[in-house]
Amino acid sequence: MPFIFPPLTIFLLLCSLSHSSYADELSAKKDNSIITIPSVEARLASKSLLLDITKVNSNKLVVVGEHGHILLSSDAVNWQQAKVPLQTTLTSVFFINSDLGWAVGHDATILNTVDGGSTWQIQQYKPELEKPLFDIVFKTPSEGIAIGAYGLVFRTQDGGASWHNEFHTEFLLPEDAEYLAEIKAEDEEAYLDEASSILPHFNRLILDNQTLYMVGEIGLVAQSDNFGVDWVPFDDIYQGSFFDISKTAQGGFLVVGLRGHVFKSADNGMTWQAIQTNTTSLINDIVLSEDGRIFLLANNGTLLESNDKGKSYQLRTQKDGKSLIAGVWFNGKLIVVSDVGVKQISL
């Protein structure tokens, strides 16, 4: 399962602070009866739990993680903390150009930056849903889609000024679709309650030219030719969860997930080949290097490296045993985020 941490309640946060501390130090903002507390600057933020990293351009990295931490760096060594209006755990970050980006996280949070990540604004914050978002992708500066737990999907057509929820029935099992239809006719409230948790988790998106791909729970692999308006699930290849999908330099696909499972397709997902990895660690992320290597980042300090286009993998176990959650290839180096912050992996 992706990292889902129980949200810290507003009540506990406020009770832990004096009235004057709340007013003077946190500058909390009340909007539509929801109190939001800005992320606090922390000297060791780059050593805390971080859940995603992206290369904005050749000179900038952005990472996100717990406590609303967003950090920027030009060298992967020195990190500057951004100004973030929430302390919510953030799970994914995406930039469409050097200035314009989004981050998502728990409480169906969506944040936006227009200055390259230095400052962030709230576009959506729904703690009442009690569901995290896991990924976000934009096709243009206006058109974006965010996905998350229990089939959560939000779409925008105006750059995030408004987000609209979608329910994708194409991922329902036939018996579940029949069940929902029955209770909808009898009890609308019960239908809404069941529909909110009946779909699998949607874990990761990638956009390849005009085609959008998604992986998730219960072996879900799907593609869309209209940016997620409609989805076509691939044939089942494995019943466990997938956490990443990538188009390789050779034009094939890789999907990775639970218990070290890796599948490779050379024909756009028509057929899949299981690849031996010699590990049972959960694989979180796929990183492609500029020199053609493939790195798979996994739990328990497990790093897999392929030098033959993904046909086989060499196991490189990291001594500290910390989970490798996400990574990028940056200036000839593998930079990853983990539960102990940013790490530069020696190869």
Position 248 confidence tier, pLDDT thresholds 50, 70, 90: confident
φ/ψ of 329, rounded to 5, equals: -95, 120
* Residues whose CB falls within 8 Å of the CB of residue 282, separated by 6 or more in sequence, listed in order: 243, 257, 258, 259, 260, 298, 299
Question: Does pLDDT of 19 surpass 90?
Answer: no
Residue 268 has a pLDDT of 85
Apex 345 CA angle, 72 and 67, nearest 5: 40
Residue 177 domain flag: yes
Tell me how crowded residue 200 is: count the other CB atoms within 10 A of its CB. Answer: 17
Stronger pLDDT, 312 or 25, i.e. the higher one? 312
- Is there a domain that residue 5 lies in? no
Residue 1 lies in a domain: no
Contact 69, 81 (CB under 8 A): yes
pLDDT in tens, 181-214: 999 999 999 999 999 999 999 999 999 999 999 9
With pLDDT > 70 as the criterion, what percentage of the chain qualifies? 90
Convert the pLDDT of each residue in 285-304 to its tens digit. 999 999 999 999 999 999 99
Is the confidence at residue 13, as pLDDT, over 70? Answer: no
Residue 11 is predicted with a pLDDT of 31
Q: How confident is the model at residue 7 (pLDDT cuts 50, 70, 90)?
A: very low
Q: 2 in a domain, yes or no?
A: no
In the prediction, which pLDDT does 142 show?
98
More confident residue, 100 or 18: 100
Q: Tell me the pLDDT band of 33, cut-offs 50, 70 and 90.
A: low
Contact 274, 257 (CB under 8 A): no
pTM: 0.90
C-alpha span between 77 and 119 (Å, rounded): 20
β-sheet bridge partners, residue 93:
103
Q: Is residue 72 included in any domain, yes or no?
A: yes
Q: How far apart are the first and last CA of the chain?
A: 28
Kindly report, residue by residue over 42-61, the tens digit of the pLDDT: 999 999 999 999 999 999 99
Please write the tens of the pLDDT for every residue from 299-341: 999 999 999 999 999 999 999 999 999 999 999 999 999 999 9
Is 3 among the domain residues? no
Is pLDDT above 70 for 8?
A: no
Are 330 and 55 a contacting pair, CB within 8 Å? yes
- Its domain, for residue 333, covers 10-345
Q: Would 248 be classed as within a structural domain?
A: yes
d(CA 125, CA 145): 15
Q: Does 80 reside within a domain?
A: yes
304: CATH: 2.130.10.10
Instruction: Give pLDDT, residue 200.
Output: 97
Residues 258-274, mean pLDDT to the nearest whole number: 94
Domain count, the chain: 1
